[in-house]
Structure 1
Amino acid sequence: MENCLTLIFLSSLVTLITANSVNVRLVNGDSRCAGRVEVLHDGQWGTVCHYSWDLTDAAVVCREMSCGEALQSPGISYFGRGSGKIWMDRVQCNGSESTLKDCRSRGWGKHDSGCAYHNYDAGVRCSETINYGRFTRLADGPHLCSGRLEVLYGNTWYSVCDAAFDQKDAEVVCRELDCGAPVQVLGAAAFGKGDAQMWKQEIQCRGNESHIRSCPTSNDIKCSQDNNVGLICSGYTDLRLVNGPDICSGRVERQFLNEWGTVCDACWDMRAASVLCRQ
């Protein structure tokens, strides 16, 4: 298999599509919770023109992205000009929508002539810089791959006790969040107490689970927010997916000696794709 993972720039390109899809993304910002707003429609990403764009519209995006409250709704391509389609213009959200696609606008692909060259792409800056996985998040860390561990059960987020968390559990969390390998597990509320409830059971991962919800739990324990667990992951990956309709699909590229290249499809199969999806 490794012999077939040859870095080439002119060859058959592998495209990978996974189950996690998203409808909105923030591009070219300094965190995943800030950037130029882009929406997915008809399998293609496009921008939003800033006419009528305000904090109410931005709040819907922040909520959809699990990024807290809207702080700013900059226009005039504050986060750089996009390219391709301009999908939405004159957006008018009432603030209760679960997704930006539900907000009123001029219609898909309809926009004022002044929007045509992406000089007025809308942006958003939200309050959170939390790295969200499907059932896990790291909060209040110095970067998106470190912070206080919180897990989702039902509709409620819980902090995890440091006495009930070990290296195997950390491996699952870092992998779920696309954050490489665990570097350090920290106790004693190293990243603050937060305001989540406390999870009262011990998590017992084997280390090969794809997400924390797959790990068994047992033994009720007593623990306070003074002893919640924090985690620092390496944040490093030498693989990425490029030019797909969402963050979990696209052309496979691998980094070698600080240079990115494509992967030949000669020996590529579903087993290799499954390994990549877990990373």
Structure 2
Amino acid sequence: MEFDGHWYAGYRLANGSTRCLGRVELRHGGTWETLCDSQWDLQAAHTLCQQDDCGFALSIPAGQLFGTGDGYVWNGTFGCKRNESRLRDCPVTALGTTECPPGSEASVVCSGCLGGRLVNGTECSGRVEIRHGDTWGSLCASHWDLQDANVLCHQLNCGYAESIQGGAHFGEGNGTIWSDTFHCEGTESCLWNCSRMALGNPACSPRDTARVICSGP
């Protein structure tokens, strides 16, 4: 049995202790089924972590760490690049039900860092956006510093912060602009691990939004 890799209802992580780790399952024909790990790689896992707003992939552990799934076991090659933000955007080849040895279910452990991203630049540079609830908005630059930027770069698997100056080509903030204050030491693994004060949505010029250029992955 085979189907076009772009015809499905989605992917999910199952049987993990949090929503950011688990066994990879895909929805096909109304049921959730298992993905074999023979062609599963860190880049595809990274894309799935991003899609689920779970940071980046720390590992793709082998074995049955997250149990076994029901139904068909699918196998395929995901041609994910670093710029895809959803697994469905990656080209998929040879996706079908094939032999998959017991204990070879695909899985991923994501970093679990939530709520921060870079826009209007590259994967590792851009204007900083953070999320409150379901709302993404630009971050006001009034309290943004290099230590905060270092943590965000690390959170996004982008090395360290080279600069928080310039970047006019990243554009102005539009819509909601948040004015959170992060008191990072620069060694935290996630921006949300820093001491933080949420100042809401005060007056802040769209030209005065936080930005960062990270060293790269």
Q: So what's the TM-score if we normalise by structure 1?
A: 0.41
Out of 90, 112, 125, the residue aligned to residue 235 of structure 1 is 112
SS of 2:60 mapped into structure 1: strand
Q: Is the 8 A contact 1:149 1:231 kept in 2?
A: yes
Q: Does 1:200 align with 2:53?
A: no
Deviations 1:148-191 (A, max 9, x none): 11123453323221121111101100000010111111122221
Q: Is the 8 A contact 2:115 2:131 kept in 1?
A: no
**Matches of 1:255 and 1:156 in 2, distance apart?**
44
**Matches of 1:199 and 1:154 in 2, distance apart?**
13
| CA displacement at 1:265 relative to structure 2 | 4.7
Out of 207, 211, 217, the residue aligned to residue 267 of structure 1 is 207
Matched letter for residue 182 of structure 2: F
Q: In the alignment, what sits opposite 1:175?
A: 50
Structure 1 pair 252/181, CA: closer, same or farther in 2 (3 Å)? farther
Matches within 5 A, 1:1-279: 135-219=10-94, 222-237=99-114, 239=116, 240-242=130-132, 247=134, 251=176, 253=178, 256-257=182-183, 258-261=195-198, 264-267=204-207
Q: Is the 8 A contact 1:140 1:191 kept in 2?
A: yes
| CA displacement at 1:229 relative to structure 2 | 1.3
**Matches of 1:196 and 1:267 in 2, distance apart?**
53
Q: Is the 8 A contact 1:198 1:225 kept in 2?
A: no
**Matches of 1:190 and 1:259 in 2, distance apart?**
35
Matched letter for residue 229 of structure 1: A
Q: Which sections of structure 1, spanning at least 5 residues, go unmatched?
A: 1-133, 273-279
Matched letter for residue 259 of structure 1: R
Q: Is the 8 A contact 1:238 1:256 kept in 2?
A: no
Matched letter for residue 267 of structure 1: R
**Matches of 2:62 and 2:10 in 1, distance apart?**
21
Task: State, as a whole percentage, how many aligned pairs show the same letter.
Answer: 28
Structure 1 pair 248/198, CA: closer, same or farther in 2 (3 Å)? farther
For the aligned residues, what is the CA RMSD? Answer: 3.0
Matched letter for residue 106 of structure 2: V
SS of 1:148 mapped into structure 2: strand
Structure 1 pair 218/184, CA: closer, same or farther in 2 (3 Å)? same
| CA displacement at 1:216 relative to structure 2 | 1.1
Q: Is the 8 A contact 2:39 2:77 kept in 1?
A: yes
Q: Is the 8 A contact 2:24 2:107 kept in 1?
A: yes
SS of 1:163 mapped into structure 2: coil
Matched letter for residue 44 of structure 2: D
Q: Is the 8 A contact 1:162 1:186 kept in 2?
A: no
Q: Is the 8 A contact 1:162 1:188 kept in 2?
A: no
Structure with larger RCO (C-alpha < 8 A, sep 6+): 1
**Matches of 1:249 and 1:172 in 2, distance apart?**
19
Q: So what's the TM-score if we normalise by structure 2?
A: 0.52
| CA displacement at 1:204 relative to structure 2 | 2.2
Q: In the alignment, what sits opposite 2:5?
A: none
The higher radius of gyration belongs to 1
Structure 1 pair 181/260, CA: closer, same or farther in 2 (3 Å)? farther
